[in-house]
Structure 1
Amino acid sequence: MAYLFLYENESAIAGLAQHLDGWSFSPHPKPGDWQIVLRWGNTEGKDPDTVVLNTRKAIETARNPVLFHRIMSISSTPCPPQELMPAGEPPWKTPVPGLSRRYKIGVFDFSVIFVQDDWSRAGGEGGGIGGGSGGGGSLRTGELKQLKELAMRAVYTLGLDFGVVHAGLMQRTRQPVIIGVDPAPPLTSSTALRFAGAVRRYVNYTNRFYSGKRSMPVAIGADPEFVLAKSDGTGHILGVYASDYLPLAGPVGCELQPVHSNGHSYRPLAELRPKYATTPVRLFHNLRATIMQADQMIPKDILWLAGSMPDGTFPIGGHIHFSRVPFTSRLLRALDNYLTIPLSLLEEPSRALIRRSRYGYLGDARIKPHGGFEYRTPFSWLSRPMLARGVLCLAYVVAREHASLKADYFSELSYLEAFYSAEKGPFRLVFPKIWEELRRTPSYEVYSRSLGLLHDMIASGWMVDEHADFRREWRKKEGA
């Protein structure tokens, strides 16, 4: 295997080279059949047609204060006011008044590899808070978790695969703020070891998956949410709590996050938890079984609503789980581009606009205890069996074929703005190209009937009706 490490400043990465056997280090692009090219701040030359960790464009974006501020603002990631950013300096050097402390958070491919106090302005070196899991100093546990999540989100949203995030907490409000992301950070012996370990892990598990020698298929699961409601007889729909009818655990249950009212705790959202499967069609049948079970548990006069935010209060999602596939930013970008873009054309824009500001953002994913991960960006796609089956098939195809699905529309500011503004126009224009790429993958043919029906729904301009009772749809044989 051939790996190229492009750097700007040799002294900045001196501690890395001794830990990365098999890598070719160079300050300039070199011809070769490289499997991976890693840019440590180096923006010389074009990105080759291979795996590039930190593309040239992403590095330039992270260093541009105007673009950095705009992208953080669009994606609702807290950052300092643009007027604080010094002219001619990268964002992470911004002095932010009112911070209690500053931190440096090392991120590599959607994992936090270290958190340190940032004493650099005082002339010292940051002391470790945690190697990605611990807490210390004046940080409370919840604050550390929030800083880590925002750091990973900032790196991903800028189009980067790794970097050191400069972040802090405001003294008065304890609110987190992302100050900037350095795509070529200076390293100590300790942080060099952390980054080198992350690079080696990335190479090892991607080699296993992309070598073509996989013995097990991708496993897929889901836990889509929906809202329960009643009609008041005058045409208005009133939400009811799922916990009034469903248990907390089990194949049919309540979403875990409670709300509090009149001294009591309630869980407003219903959730389906079908058994995992190794094909999307089997998962669909497992999902249908849980829906039939739910039909016996919930009174017949209760409406079942899907979409983005059917009751105007609680955002809901159609979370999809994956395992036996590497959890990488490469896969997340494929899911954002080849799954979320098509599905966004089916959403009701006014509700999608509200939901995406706080939930269901691009790259919204969580590691699960079973070893896989949960992709949380899509809305609840339960409105019709045909839609659900198509979504599961599309998600599976994207996960299995993501190595060949290389488009990244969200590296362009205009597409980011369109997504978070719930504008469909730009995505309608690229939808035919996206689908043609999908159609050329080997897995598409296996699920071509379900995917063809989904394509036709999207191309027709059909949109999810968030006030329609989808329970009735699942009693039919459509999509069986």
Structure 2
Amino acid sequence: MKPLLLECGRDDVETRLLGTATTSRNHLASSIHLRWNGDPLYVSSMLGLNHTQQVESAQSSEWKKEIWKLHGLTVAASQATVLRLYVVPVFQTQALLLYRSKTSPVWLSGGGGKPTFQRVSTEDQSREVRKVKAMAIRAFYSLGLDYGVAKIGIQPGNQIVVVDVAPGPRINREMGVQLAEAVQLYIKRLPRLWASLDQVMLGADPEFIMQKSNGTLVMASDYFPRYGSVGCDAIWHGQNRSIKPLVELRPKPNKDPRQLVLRMYKDMMTASRRVNNKQVEWLAGALPHPKYPLGGHIHFSGILLTFQLLRALDLYLALPLMLAEDGNGVQRRPRYGFLGDYRLQFHGGFEYRTLPSWLISPTLTKGSLAAAKLIAARYPHLPLDDWYDRKLQQAYYRGEKKKVRERVKVLWESLRSLKEYAWYEKDLDRFYQMIVSGITWNEKEDIRKRWKLPPYQK
């Protein structure tokens, strides 16, 4: 299976895509390789779209189902019926078009004739359409693919399921045009995927939870407003939506990760004076309370979002951080903490949502943000081959640290080889030493102790 070879920098790329990316039978080329002699040179993963090995693996329905279930996606049974069926052409983080079946129900086994479809606006803000687009994108990402056509079904009870994904399906002219334009845009953006450190703006909204020593939850809404630099997360407790258990820090974004940490510290200092009580413990990590998984979301702007960037964050940040997590944290995945979890933001950037709350200690906080900054700026130079290793993904989701630790050591050497590593060497080295030491964080320990906040401030 040879990939379609495209020369970057030529004026006729889009014409060639429309002429050669589909065959006479309107089948989309299942893999594309970009020949680019730009400066700086990128690793091969940046110049391949739908790597041939992943395309070959995707020919197996059983393989796809196994991967989707590993990543926490709900998969339709082969003999199932769905109320509605969506066909979604995807290029990386974009759902390019939406088609929805007119007939209901749709028999996936082929009975009852082929359904007919109608166009649905990709700007439709209904919950179903938003969930369908997100599911289609996740289905491609989890398989290590970059583009193609997904089929997403709606089962009784409005359950959204993955029906199938095809990297080289039959397509209509409209799909061909949209996919060709997406590839052309990716090619145009290649020189801009490499960023200077001062170009990347960082933000964050890490969470923590408060409880008494006997395990009784203390509501964040009793102390903090809904919004502000220290506020309540949107999740509510019980039936009353005004009662909210999670505290969220929202420091003003900054290009310097050290300054971002300093702003978080000041916000925590203000919050700690308000809750200056040793009987109320502050807990962070992945799952210090069984009902409330915590996140350490990191926001990015000033850079372009690609699947390769998400895979680099998975490999060089989520995987290392998993080595230090409390053993209980594995229960957070895959509903939360799944690989490649992101959300677009109103400011034009995005947040990476895979990580647990790294507020556990200053070492983890400084290291996580410094690594995020370095990865975001230099990921086109970082090898991503390990991301496609199914056994490594399984080890991540199962919390099998022994299978991950040696691989992380090799990955970290790639990160260390970047000349910009020296900018944050102190914070990154301390972070690395902690994650490979075999020592794990204690999610039952008050984080104010390590941060030296009141009432533990010396």
Q: What is the TM-score normalised by the length of structure 2?
A: 0.87
Instruction: Write out aligned runs for 1:184-263 (5 A).
Output: 184-210=168-194, 217-232=199-214, 237-261=215-239, 263=240
Cα distance in 2 for partners of 1:215, 1:464 equals 30
- Which structure 2 residue ranges, 5 or more long, are not aligned? 1-5
> Does 1:147 pair with 2:137?
no
Tell me if structure 1 keeps the 8 A contact 2:33–2:49.
no
Structure 1 stretches of at least 4 aligned residues deviating more than 4 Å after TM superposition:
4-9, 26-35, 47-50, 118-125
Aligned with 1:468: secondary structure? coil
Cα distance in 1 for partners of 2:319, 2:213 equals 33
What is residue 311 of structure 1 aligned with on the other side? 289
Cα distance in 2 for partners of 1:304, 1:289 equals 16
What is residue 352 of structure 1 aligned with on the other side? 329
Instruction: Write out aligned runs for 1:280-299 (5 A).
Output: 280-299=257-276
Amino acid paired to 1:420: Y
Aligned with 2:285: secondary structure? coil
Change (3 A) 1:455 1:97: closer
Deviations 1:376-418 (CA, angstroms, capped at 9, x unpaired): 1111111111221111111111111101112242312211211
Change (3 A) 1:264 1:55: closer
Cα distance in 1 for partners of 2:95, 2:394 equals 27
What is residue 124 of structure 2 aligned with on the other side? 134
Which among 351, 356, 362 is matched to residue 339 of structure 2?
362
> Does 1:182 pair with 2:166?
yes
Cα distance in 2 for partners of 1:49, 1:392 equals 24
Change (3 A) 1:166 1:397: same
Aligned with 2:96: secondary structure? strand
> Does 1:331 pair with 2:309?
yes
Which among 149, 168, 184 is matched to residue 164 of structure 1?
149
Tell me if structure 2 keeps the 8 A contact 1:334–1:408.
no
Structural RMSD (CA): 2.8
Cα distance in 2 for partners of 1:182, 1:451 equals 40
Tell me if structure 1 keeps the 8 A contact 2:31–2:49.
no
Tell me if structure 2 keeps the 8 A contact 1:107–1:165.
yes
Shift of 1:324: 0.6
Which among 67, 72, 79 is matched to residue 76 of structure 1?
72
- How many residue pairs get aligned? The number is 429
Shift of 1:63: 1.8
> Does 1:64 pair with 2:60?
yes
Change (3 A) 1:215 1:438: closer
Cα distance in 2 for partners of 1:370, 1:282 equals 20
Tell me if structure 1 keeps the 8 A contact 2:209–2:245.
yes
Cα distance in 2 for partners of 1:264, 1:364 equals 26
Cα distance in 2 for partners of 1:185, 1:453 equals 48
Deviations 1:136-168 (CA, angstroms, capped at 9, x unpaired): xxxxx2222211111111110000111211111
Q: Which has the higher contact order (CA 8 A, sep 6+)?
A: 2
Amino acid paired to 2:87: K
Change (3 A) 1:372 1:48: closer
Deviations 1:215-273 (CA, angstroms, capped at 9, x unpaired): 951111111000111113xxxx2222111111000000001122333x56311100001
Shift of 1:186: 2.2
Tell me if structure 1 keeps the 8 A contact 2:31–2:55.
no
Change (3 A) 1:29 1:384: closer
Change (3 A) 1:50 1:113: closer
Amino acid paired to 1:465: N
Cα distance in 1 for partners of 2:249, 2:30 equals 52
Cα distance in 1 for partners of 2:31, 2:91 equals 23
Cα distance in 2 for partners of 1:27, 1:339 equals 30
Shift of 1:354: 1.5
Tell me if structure 1 keeps the 8 A contact 2:286–2:356.
yes
Change (3 A) 1:258 1:30: closer
> Does 1:420 pair with 2:403?
no
Aligned with 1:224: secondary structure? strand
Percent identity for Structure 1 against Structure 2: 33
> Does 1:402 pair with 2:379?
yes
Tell me if structure 2 keeps the 8 A contact 1:240–1:268.
yes
Cα distance in 2 for partners of 1:71, 1:342 equals 21
Which among 351, 354, 359 is matched to residue 377 of structure 1?
354
Aligned with 2:356: secondary structure? coil
Tell me if structure 1 keeps the 8 A contact 2:30–2:55.
no
Shift of 1:110: 1.0
Change (3 A) 1:428 1:363: same
Tell me if structure 2 keeps the 8 A contact 1:333–1:408.
no
Shift of 1:30: 9.1
Amino acid paired to 1:464: W
Tell me if structure 2 keeps the 8 A contact 1:169–1:177.
yes
Shift of 1:33: 4.9
